[in-house]
């Protein structure tokens, strides 16, 4: 494993990249940074980072390169022309993207003698360095193991194996849950606002309620993995349809758009029409799979 004092270059120091770079400086590493908008790196210079004049210089300065750019296309445009500078180094790419893009990066890296680890950060910048920050990794095991002591300083590390794209799949799967949860909250906030309540009022109760509901996820997961949606259920699709009808009716009475609810209602209704009304709500997992 790497030791404290490793030379690390962080490519992209926006909100998340800046937090990662700051944490690496804090834990005693020699950090060089580069950003497309150079002014964003100045605060890190004050904290002890070296601000590279150009990307090639940033790469040349370190043995471990951590990428946190906006997307894979931008990362490719900037990094791939500098393959010769990256040869023999380790790249940890924490840019959000798809598994297809991660696999393409791994193939490119292997062809240029670059050790490649793909990853994703499931946290906000303020959580970097804390156990609550979950960082997902996949790709070259030897490179991951070699630098694990560094990666663990950023948060809780979870390695998903040698397939480069696996971390990206988990990343987008988790983000789906996050975005749909927040969208549901915003819809609910619009509903209660019609009665004079604030989003803050709703958040106080909903955060407690959703926290309690999250404890049901392991059970739902077991039902999905078992493929048995017929027994031992209280939340049937028939029950769910009735609940969604009431929720939608209440939103409509407040002149709130119900398109979000209608999407879910349509999924439930298609399963019921196929004869699965008494099956568990978890059966909706099958609705997402294209035959």
pLDDT in the model for residue 234: 77
126 part of a folded domain: yes
pLDDT in the model for residue 1: 41
H helix or E strand, kind and range, residue 79: helix 72-79
Asked whether residue 174 falls in the same domain as residue 54, the answer is: no
157-208 confidence digits (pLDDT tens): 999 999 999 999 999 999 999 999 999 999 999 999 988 999 999 999 999 9
Longest Cα–Cα distance of the chain, Å, equals 65
133 part of a folded domain: yes
pLDDT in the model for residue 289: 85
16 part of a folded domain: yes
Q: Are 225 and 282 in contact (CB under 8 A)?
A: no
Asked whether residue 154 falls in the same domain as residue 231, the answer is: no
96 part of a folded domain: yes
Domain that holds residue 88: 7-162
Helix/strand/coil (H, E, C) string of 223-260? HHHHCCCCCCCCCEHHHHHHHHHHHHHHHHHCCCCCHH
Total domains in the chain come to 2
Tens place of pLDDT for every residue, the chain, 291 residues? 444 579 999 999 999 999 999 999 999 999 999 999 989 999 999 999 999 999 999 999 999 999 999 999 999 999 999 999 999 999 999 999 999 999 999 999 999 999 999 999 999 999 999 999 999 999 999 999 999 999 999 999 999 999 999 999 999 999 999 999 999 999 999 999 988 999 999 999 999 999 999 999 999 999 999 999 997 677 999 999 999 999 999 999 999 999 999 999 999 999 999 999 999 999 999 999 875
pLDDT in the model for residue 55: 97
Query: Across 35-123, where does the E strand assignment appear?
Result: 50-51, 64-67, 90-93, 115-122
DSSP 8-state class, residue 279:
S
Distance separating alpha carbons of residues 125 and 23, to the nearest angstrom:
10
Distance separating alpha carbons of residues 203 and 212, to the nearest angstrom:
14
1 part of a folded domain: no
Asked whether residue 64 falls in the same domain as residue 115, the answer is: yes
For 177, half-sphere exposure in the C-beta direction (CA atoms, 13 angstrom radius) is: 9
pTM: 0.88
What CATH number is associated with residue 18?
Answer: 3.40.50.720
Q: Considering Cα of 209, then 214, then 219, then 225, what sign does the dihedral take?
A: positive
Asked whether residue 19 falls in the same domain as residue 143, the answer is: yes
Asked whether residue 204 falls in the same domain as residue 153, the answer is: no
pLDDT in the model for residue 46: 94
Q: Considering Cα of 187, then 190, then 195, then 197, what sign does the dihedral take?
A: positive
Domain ends where: 141, 162, 183? Answer: 162
Domain ends where: 142, 162, 182? Answer: 162
């Amino acid at each position: 494993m790497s030791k404290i004092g490793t030379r690390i270059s962080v490519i992209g120091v926006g909100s998340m990249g800046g937090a990662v770079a700051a944490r690496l400086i804090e834990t005693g590493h020699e950090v060089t940074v580069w950003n497309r908008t150079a002014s964003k790196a100045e605060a890190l210079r004050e904290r002890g980072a070296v601000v590279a004049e150009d990307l090639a210089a940033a790469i040349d300065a370190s043995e471990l390169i951590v990428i946190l750019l906006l997307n894979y296309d931008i990362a490719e445009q900037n990094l791939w022309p500098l393959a010769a500078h990256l040869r023999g180094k380790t790249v940890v790419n924490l840019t959000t993207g798809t598994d297809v893009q991660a696999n393409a990066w791994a193939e490119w890296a292997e062809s240029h003698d670059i050790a490649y680890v793909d990853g994703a950060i499931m946290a906000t910048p303020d959580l970097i360095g804390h156990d609550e920050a979950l960082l997902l990794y996949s790709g070259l095991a030897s490179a991951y193991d070699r630098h694990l002591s560094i990666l663990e300083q950023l948060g809780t590390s979870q390695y998903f194996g040698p397939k480069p794209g696996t971390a990206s799949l988990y990343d987008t799967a988790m983000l789906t849950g996050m975005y749909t949860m927040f969208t549901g909250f915003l819809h609910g906030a619009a509903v209660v606002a019609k009665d004079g309540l604030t989003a803050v009022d709703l958040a106080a109760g909903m955060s407690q309620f959703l926290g309690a509901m999250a404890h049901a996820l392991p059970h739902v997961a077991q039902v999905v993995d078992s493929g048995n949606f017929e027994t031992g259920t209280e939340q049937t699709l028939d029950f769910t349809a009735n609940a969604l009808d009431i929720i939608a009716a209440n939103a409509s009475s407040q002149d709130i758009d119900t398109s979000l609810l209608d999407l879910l209602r349509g999924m439930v209704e298609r399963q019921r029409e196929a004869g699965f009304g008494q099956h568990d709500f978890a059966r909706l997992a099958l609705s997402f799979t294209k035959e």
